[in-house]
Amino acid sequence: MAENFIDYVKIYIRSGAGGNGSVSFARGKFRPNGGPDGGDGGRGGHIILKGDRNYWTLLHLKFQRHIFATNGEPGLGARWTGTQGEDRTIIVPLGTVAKDELTGEVMAEITEHEQEIIILKGGKGGLGNNNFKSATNQAPMYAQEGGVAKEKTLILELKVLADVGLVGFPNAGKSTLLSVVSAAKPEIADYPFTTLVPNLGVVSYRDDQSFVMADIPGIIEGAAEGRGLGIRFLRHIERNSILLFMVSAESKDINNDYQILLGELEKYNPELLDKKRLLAVTKSDLLDEELENLMSKELPKDIPHIFISSVAEKGILQLKDMIMKSIKNEL
């Protein structure tokens, strides 16, 4: 599955040039000195980004290195407008960001199904000589050239869209939690970096409500500098409304682990610290209430916490309640 998840592609794109306007006169058997009737050129084709919720990866664009729209046709006599160039539509999953490779400028963000954004406009069609006649120039011998094509190298980055993003070290139990609370089936094993791609799951809640949870591949200390899986997956956290930090009860220092995770996010993008945060202490099935109370005193004070066990399904419903309250700004 990992080889099928592509979240970064580079594409060379070019819009179509506009067709030239026509220089033409309405000559005929009974109109030897007919006036100008040159039609306008057709506009060049656009390059368009379109969101589709049925796509979850950029894999279909991996080998499509060049995408060109076609040129508009020249205008014709009898005021006929040239045929418009064909647009080219690039289908992308929701959460895709388009950047100009040269400047780094964000040109578009696709967040909704069937949302369309023109990323490169086609050149305008040139005006035919019919548009330039006047009282002092009854027979203009010129027309306007069509607008030129535009081109650039486009970078497409996918950032997973979810209500809740799971943040933690490898083996913190993120994949197990997602498999328990949703129909998602991420790979689960007892070794680091089992999760190599973000996994999304829809979590059912009371009264037919639901929210989307994303299992982000594990972070290790130094991820912001490129260690481990590096910043490749940190970008996916940017689009999550709530960050659920997950630290194992087996940790020697839960608070320290939490601070390391927080520090990696801050180094990557300080704005991530503005997101709502929750803390789940995982693998807590062997903890009794007394021990949980003692451990709670050592946990960070500025973040709501809960003790859970996905395997024993301990605290799972309470965790859902906590998440939903946070989503609704009731926490």
SS (H, E, C) 150-181: CEEEEEEEECCCEEEEEEECCCCCHHHHHHHH
Pairing of strands 96-100, 151-158: antiparallel
pLDDT in tens, 89-140: 999 988 899 999 999 999 999 999 999 999 999 999 999 999 999 988 989 9
Cα 328 to Cα 7: distance, rounded to the nearest angstrom:
30
Q: Which CATH superfamily is domain 1-158 in?
A: GTP1/OBG domain (2.70.210.12)
Cα 255 to Cα 164: distance, rounded to the nearest angstrom:
21
Q: Contact 166/158 with Cβ under 8 angstroms? A: no
Cα 165 to Cα 269: distance, rounded to the nearest angstrom:
15
The amino acid occupying position 176 is T
pLDDT in tens, 6-22: 778 999 999 999 999 99
- Of 251, 77, 309, 68, nearest in space to 259 by CA: 251
Integer CA distances (angstroms), 99 to 32, 105, 120, 279, in order = 56, 5, 12, 34
Token readout for 149 is: 């094509």
Given this model, what pLDDT does residue 233 score? 59
Which pTM value belongs to this model?
A: 0.67
Could you give the dihedral angle defined by the CA atoms of residues 215, 219, 225 and 228, in that order, rounded to the nearest 10 degrees? -100
Domain extents in the chain: 1-158, 162-327
Given this model, what pLDDT does residue 63 score? 86
pLDDT in tens, 282-323: 999 988 899 999 999 989 888 999 999 998 999 999 999 999
Let me know if domain 162-327 sits in CATH 3.40.50.300.
yes
pLDDT in tens, 148-169: 999 999 999 988 777 898 888 8
Token readout for 32 is: 């030897």
